[in-house]
Amino acid sequence: MNSFLKEYFDRRIFFCVLSLTGIGLLSIYSATFDAYAGRDFYRQLLWAVIGLFAMLSMMLLPLRWLQRNALTIFFASLSLLVLVLFAGKRVYGSQSWLGFAGLGIQPSEFVKITTMLALASFLSQSDVKATDLKDLVKTSAIVALPIALIMLQPDFGTALTFLAMFIPVLYWAGASKFLIIIIIAPAFIAAASIFGTTPFLIVLILLGAGLYKLRDENRFFAVIVFGANVVIGFFVQIVYEKLPLYQQKRIATFLDPNNDPLGAGYNVIQAKVAIGSGGLFGKGFMRGTQTQLSFIPKQWTDFIFCVPGEEFGLLGGIVVLGLFSVLLFHGVHLASTAKNKFGSLLAIGFTCLFAFHVFVNIGMSVGLMPVIGIPLPFLSYGGSSLVSYMMVAGLMMNVYANRKEY
Amino acid sequence: MIDDFGSADRRFIVRIVLAAGFAILFLRLFQLQYLNAELYGKEAEENSIRNVPKVAIRGYVYDRKGKLLIDNRPSYSVMLTPVDFDKKNLPLLTTILSMPEEMILEKIRLGRKYNAFIPTRIKRDISFAELSMLEEHKDKLYGVEIQMESKRFYPAAAHGSHLFGYAKEISDVQLEKQKDYYQPADIIGSTGIEAKYEQLLRGEKGWEFISQNAKGQIIGTFDNGKHDILPVDGVDLHLAIDGDVQAMAESLLNGRRGAVIAIDPRNGGIIALVSKPDYDLSIFSGTTPPDVWRALNTDEGIPLYNRATLTRYPPGSTFKMLLALTALDKKIIDENWKVTCPGSFRYGNKIFKCEHVHGTVNVVDAIHRSCNVFFYQLMLKVGLDEWSEMGKKFGFGKQTKVDITEENSGLMPDRNYYDRIHGKGKWTQGYLISLGIGQGEVGVTPLQLANYTAMLANKGNFYQPHALNRTYNKRTKQFSEVKVDHREVTLSDHTWELVREGMRRVVMAPGGTGAASRVPGIEVAGKTGTAQNPHGKSHAWFIGFAPFEDPKIAICVLVENVGYGGAFAAPIAGLCMEQFLYGEIIRYSKRPMKLEPNLPDEEPVAEN
């Protein structure tokens, strides 16, 4: 029995997910404690239980069946995104919620999973090559559809997470490294050029070094890419400076919230104060002044990391980061060892999806990242995200169980 | 091309990116939570804890007999929390408080600017009618509450306007100077004893630490109030003042302009300090309506001005004793030195008048009958320097360092002064003659003259005049006595005897000008004086002390624009001394009469 469990049940993922969800529940309890003590906590607890069942069912679904029907499931899920545009509820400026049996769900969270299934299913077909231009276009189309629908809501942050999944999956599937650089370099160059000349030059040098290393593949092309990025950098800078001052300020604030301490930067500054004041061991559960006195707006959703940060200090932060690193490195390991391409792609895609959420969300709470409203998996309050991430974890456990199958 | 699916170098790159991400986050946490933890900790604390000042109960003030002079009474203020208040209820509030709508709106606006979640004071010290109206409409006036505060109350008959002074809401100017302790709307002693002993009376503010959320809404006490600092109640003051004498002096000066100061010659304690016209201190204890304040400031009697310590007039004949003491002490004359008074004195081509033909007088007679010619001649004999030096020893020309408020230092002319005014060598002895009878440039305050009287009574002992005898600290339950400066002017017994005998005769002997200050059964000594007033009728002085052999009270009375001192000032002094020495007015129980100064109906004996 024990060896059977070890063989088919991914205890690492299960442990990490349960621990992180537990920390999340405690944090939500602490952050929302008021006259209605625990209302949000119990609601989230209920979601966690639902999520647990969803996770186990995802684990038990036949992987082959999923692979075969991924595209059908994908297109079916897209209809939800269309529905939400017409019948959805508007929350924080985005029309992303569907009322469902008295509970609100966010279809976009689940579409991430179906998109990943579709991507993995398509790319794992034996006649599809990640290096082939026609196949690349088809793959891109799979991602472009949900991204376009989500941008209509509009929900920029969630749309970005699709890219965070798509690019690593392409890379893993064997796409040319050139291609990857061509896709991601302009974004870094553009951001760096707004920050100033020095960051721009640093990114340019890194790009140059990368291209130099790849020069054997296509020397001429490398020079073209480098040149194009230089042009993009200058172009962005010129356009940025031509923008009206308020728009410049908006962009600068997005990239560095500290520029606007009373507006967009307020959350970030209060979050930093909360985390910093936690010190090494924290102020104790339910005793964080920043948390208890509601200094951080929307803390139980996007800024949930402040709670363990303030109340359990660096120790709490290390525990959370540690659990995530176990989960993510295990995910890479899983992708590397899975014998079938579909499972491997699922594992790497989901791992990178988690990584993006973790780095952007925690990075935002500690003032290193722009404020992009994406949740911290398993910790942030919200039924759809918790259930969908538990389903993702379930799928990864499924990959584990089937890792030896071809 | 080889199939590069999940190749080793791609796994490596993915792992590197993940590791880098975690490393950056960990280093950032380390920076925030270890390197900068203290900084952020302080910021978090400032964010969430609000200090609410708790005002201490202001010290009480008692008189020398233990009677309460200044009390605290509850007063009610209307507070309004801007975020909670619904503007549609404004007309109701306007009607109840009978305040203009714009004024309330302005206060709400100011409060909102500071913090819309903290109650702001709309009106201080509301009436009982307003209070009950507010209570009645409580349900409609959400966001309006009543706050209990304390205000000064004066239970005794004595006004003590200039003596006690007022404590009122701190002004911007005062606040600017003492920002470390005071806050807007704090009460601060602004004049008199309230100002001088502000530090003792106010006690120490306490602090309550309250947790607040990001919007400034109060969540509750911080850490169960463990860090709260209790206010320390103000120290009680026990004054040398006799409330009854103070009240009597005030009532006797009613309708006049002037001052009364009585000093205990045994220690310098001020028994009474009155300046008239005065005003009702209670108008400052709540809110002061602007028109009342304007009226006080524009009144031509200048009620806010403390004549007792600030006004400066020539001392007139009350200064004759100073010249006599100087001459006797320096052995320039003795009791056998005599002058014949023909009714006037000619110096050069100037005639200096005496009101009577006194015949031949010695120093005692000259004081008794107030002969000017004697002192004209004596002044020429003594000279400016000796006289001036003696005057300074008696505290003239400089502040007495009384513990009340600002005081005028007066003017005791000396050689330097004359050189400065007239030029060196450009003034002659003739300039000095009128100084001998206390006229001319010499200027004294009633307080200085009272102090001089006390020194005549106790034979040369200067005690710094003081209203405060001792303080009582309610926390330590201890009294502490006030220490005052003491110095002595040593003159021979014989000198004192002659001068004081002159003063005794002024009151007690026939032909004296101070008979009106007599007290039944007690020997009184005194001297009348008239301060010439170029603008109108002269000001009347009277100084005196009693009992003659063992003086317990020395008094100086100034009544402005009434003419002769004997007629107007002396009776006031007599009644005050009687009240002090007997604790009541006994003359009426023996011979019933109205309680008012016993004014003579005939033209009094002139002095100057």
Instruction: Say yes or no: A143 and A272 in one domain.
Output: yes
Residue A355 contacts B, CB cutoff 8 Å: yes
Residue B563 has pLDDT above 90, yes or no: no
Residue scoring higher pLDDT (A271 or B222): A271
Contact B548, B581 (CB under 8 A): no
Q: b vs e for A150-183, b when ≥16 Cβ sit within 10 Å of the residue's Cβ?
A: beebebebbbbbbebbbbbbbbbbbbbbbbbbeb
Domain boundary among A205, A229, A255: A255
Torsion (CA) A338, A342, A344, A347 in degrees, nearest 10: -120
Instruction: Say yes or no: A148 and A168 in one domain.
Output: yes
Q: Do B10 and A171 touch (CB under 8 A)?
A: yes
How high is the pLDDT of residue A99?
A: 66
B502-547 pLDDT, tens digit per residue, is: 999 999 998 888 999 999 999 999 999 988 888 888 899 999 999 9
B343-358 pLDDT, tens digit per residue, is: 889 888 888 888 888 8
Residues A44, A49, A52, A58: is their CA dihedral positive or negative?
negative
Residues in chain B with CB shorter than 8 Å from the CB of A299 are none
Question: Which tokens belong to A24?
Answer: 């999340």
As a whole number, mean pLDDT of residues A201-205 equals 89
How high is the pLDDT of residue B212?
A: 67
Residue B50 contacts A, CB cutoff 8 Å: no
Residue A283: give the domain boundaries: 2-15+24-173+259-401
Distance, CA of B40 to CA of A274 (rounded, Å): 7
How high is the pLDDT of residue A312?
A: 93
Instruction: Say yes or no: A221 and A93 in one domain.
Output: no
Distance, CA of A123 to CA of A117 (rounded, Å): 10
Q: Do B18 and A325 touch (CB under 8 A)?
A: yes
Q: Do B33 and A275 touch (CB under 8 A)?
A: yes
**Which residue type sits at B31?**
Q
Residue scoring higher pLDDT (A321 or B226): A321
Strand partners, B120: B80
How high is the pLDDT of residue B157?
A: 87
Cβ–Cβ pairs < 8 A, chains A and B: 135
List, in order, residues 6 or more apart from B443 with CB less than 8 Å away: B312, B313, B314, B408, B410, B411
Instruction: Say yes or no: A144 and A235 in one domain.
Output: no
Residues in chain B with CB shorter than 8 Å from the CB of A325 are 18, 22
Confidence band of B143 (pLDDT split at 50, 70, 90): confident
Domain boundary among A205, A221, A255: A255
Residue B370 has pLDDT above 60, yes or no: yes
Instruction: Say yes or no: A54 and A160 in one domain.
Output: yes
Domain boundary among A255, A280, A306: A255
Residue of chain A with shortest Cα separation from B211: A293
Residue A262 has pLDDT above 80, yes or no: no
Residue scoring higher pLDDT (A185 or A4): A185
As a whole number, mean pLDDT of residues B196-220 equals 77
Contact B48, B212 (CB under 8 A): yes
**Helix A245-255 × helix A264-278 angle, to 10°:** 20
A300-328 pLDDT, tens digit per residue, is: 888 999 999 999 999 999 999 999 999 99
Q: Do B14 and A309 touch (CB under 8 A)?
A: no
Q: Report the 10 Å Cβ neighbour count for A77.
A: 20
Distance, CA of B172 to CA of A42 (rounded, Å): 54
With a CB-CB cutoff of 8 Å, which residues 162-201 of chain A face chain B? 168, 171-174
A312 within a domain of the structure (yes/no): yes
Residue B165 has pLDDT above 70, yes or no: yes
**Consecutive H or E run containing B260:** strand B258-263
Instruction: Say yes or no: A99 and A167 in one domain.
Output: yes
A300 within a domain of the structure (yes/no): yes
Distance from CA of B106 to the nearest CA of A (A): 26
Q: Report the 10 Å Cβ neighbour count for A314.
A: 21
How high is the pLDDT of residue B217?
A: 63
- On the 0-12 / 13-18 / 19+ scale of CB atoms within 10 A, B180 is exposed
A162 within a domain of the structure (yes/no): yes
User: What average pLDDT is seen over chain A?
Assistant: 86
CA atoms within 13 A on the CB side of B290: 0
A406 within a domain of the structure (yes/no): no
Instruction: Say yes or no: A158 and A289 in one domain.
Output: yes
Instruction: Say yes or no: A182 and A146 in one domain.
Output: no
A212 within a domain of the structure (yes/no): yes
Distances in Å between the alpha carbon of B443 and those of B382, B413, B460?
20, 9, 21
Question: Which tokens belong to A79?
Answer: 């209809």
Instruction: Say yes or no: A244 and A277 in one domain.
Output: no
As a whole number, mean pLDDT of residues A99-124 equals 84
Distance, CA of B128 to CA of B148 (rounded, Å): 13
- On the 0-12 / 13-18 / 19+ scale of CB atoms within 10 A, A36 is exposed
* Total structural domains within chain A: 2
Instruction: Say yes or no: A220 and A346 in one domain.
Output: no
B1-60 pLDDT, tens digit per residue, is: 346 788 888 899 999 999 999 999 999 999 998 888 888 888 777 776 666 677 788 999
Q: Which domains does chain B have, with CATH numbers?
A: 74-154 (3.90.1310.10), 245-590 (3.40.710.10)
Distances in Å between the alpha carbon of A308 and those of A63, A284, B33?
36, 9, 12
List, in order, residues 6 or more apart from B10 with CB less than 8 Å away: A171, A172, A174, B4
Residue scoring higher pLDDT (A57 or B7): A57
Distance, CA of B136 to CA of B145 (rounded, Å): 12
A181 within a domain of the structure (yes/no): yes
List, in order, residues 6 or more apart from B216 with CB less than 8 Å away: B50, B115, B116, B117, B118
Torsion (CA) B181, B183, B185, B189 in degrees, nearest 10: 20
B372-418 pLDDT, tens digit per residue, is: 999 999 999 999 999 999 999 999 999 999 988 788 999 999 999 99
Contact B202, B189 (CB under 8 A): yes
Q: Do B214 and A344 touch (CB under 8 A)?
A: no
User: What average pLDDT is seen over chain B?
Assistant: 86
Instruction: Say yes or no: A351 and A367 in one domain.
Output: yes
How high is the pLDDT of residue B396?
A: 94
Distance, CA of B169 to CA of A54 (rounded, Å): 68
Contact B231, B537 (CB under 8 A): no
Contact B541, B526 (CB under 8 A): no
- Identify the residue among A289, A299, A341 best suited for mutation to test binding to B, counting B beta carbons within 10 A and taking the highest: A289
Strand partners, B275: B259
Distance, CA of A185 to CA of B119 (rounded, Å): 56
Residues in chain A with CB shorter than 8 Å from the CB of B39 are 276
Confidence band of A102 (pLDDT split at 50, 70, 90): low
As a whole number, mean pLDDT of residues B221-233 equals 77
How high is the pLDDT of residue B249?
A: 94
A7-33 pLDDT, tens digit per residue, is: 889 999 999 999 999 999 999 988 877
Range of weakest confidence among B157-166, B201-210, B271-280: B201-210
A383 within a domain of the structure (yes/no): yes
Residue B607 has pLDDT above 60, yes or no: no
Is residue B75 part of the annotated active site? The answer reads no
A66 within a domain of the structure (yes/no): yes
CA atoms within 13 A on the CB side of A370: 12
How high is the pLDDT of residue A293?
A: 65
Strand pairing report for B61-62 and B236-239: parallel
B476-491 pLDDT, tens digit per residue, is: 888 999 888 999 999 9
B586-605 pLDDT, tens digit per residue, is: 887 654 444 455 444 433 43
Length of chain A: 406
- On the 0-12 / 13-18 / 19+ scale of CB atoms within 10 A, B595 is exposed
Residue B267 phi, psi dihedral angles, 5° rounding: -150, 0
Instruction: Say yes or no: A164 and A297 in one domain.
Output: yes
Distance, CA of B43 to CA of B37 (rounded, Å): 10
Considering only CA atoms, which of B157, B198, B558, B543 is closest in space to residue B403?
Answer: B198
